[in-house]
Structure 1
């Protein structure tokens, strides 16, 4: 019986040691590259987006940063129309959008123009460079 216990314990230790040796400390072996960049077209951007991260200009004041960081901004793009709603400040904006190459222009019903350059576009994520805002450099968007 004692020999059986020693054999079982030895086999378990051998299995655990073999398992640890098969794992590589080099993390580059664990990375799978998937090219998910899509061609920038209306049918790829027309969905509900949520602003997930903001990159700020050096001149952006503390209060504006705090407001952006607390906001939950949802943007719906559909058939040349957009609707944006900030669930934190309870403000909304609606209007039209145009896509010319990688440049997205959104014009509100009040005539305010927002311009963005789409720098990365995947099926569920996008990164846009903000072209005409004194506080923002870029925004990362996700779609659920």
Structure 2
């Protein structure tokens, strides 16, 4: 099992938790981004830099994903693809995406995109709070304990 991170938008606090977890559990962690991402020296942590472009990092993650791998992403279409390929997806806020809920999440995302295309301001997710970071750490620990 490997952990993949959609790293372009991943908060630093979440990356720090992932770095510690990779070393503690000796699970390979790979950050995928279209820019250089600083990583600590570790035999378990690496980064992959992809070309700039829409969803290039997402496509790279999907191409390398194996069933049972975990992907950290807030991108709902990427999470849906990960689940379809037998992987697991966890948001930086600690929400585990599942086959039972991903369809509704995709529908809501598409609905909000339609509203925005029509000029309606829908806002985005709020700033990451300490409780969100703790929820992520707890969800990651639960996932890693099951492996």
Give TM-score, length-normalised by structure 2.
0.26
- Which structure ranks higher in relative contact order (CA pairs < 8 Å, sequence separation ≥ 6)? 1
Pick the structure with more strand per residue. 1
For the pair shown, the structure with the greater C-alpha radius of gyration is 1
Pick the structure with more helix per residue. 2
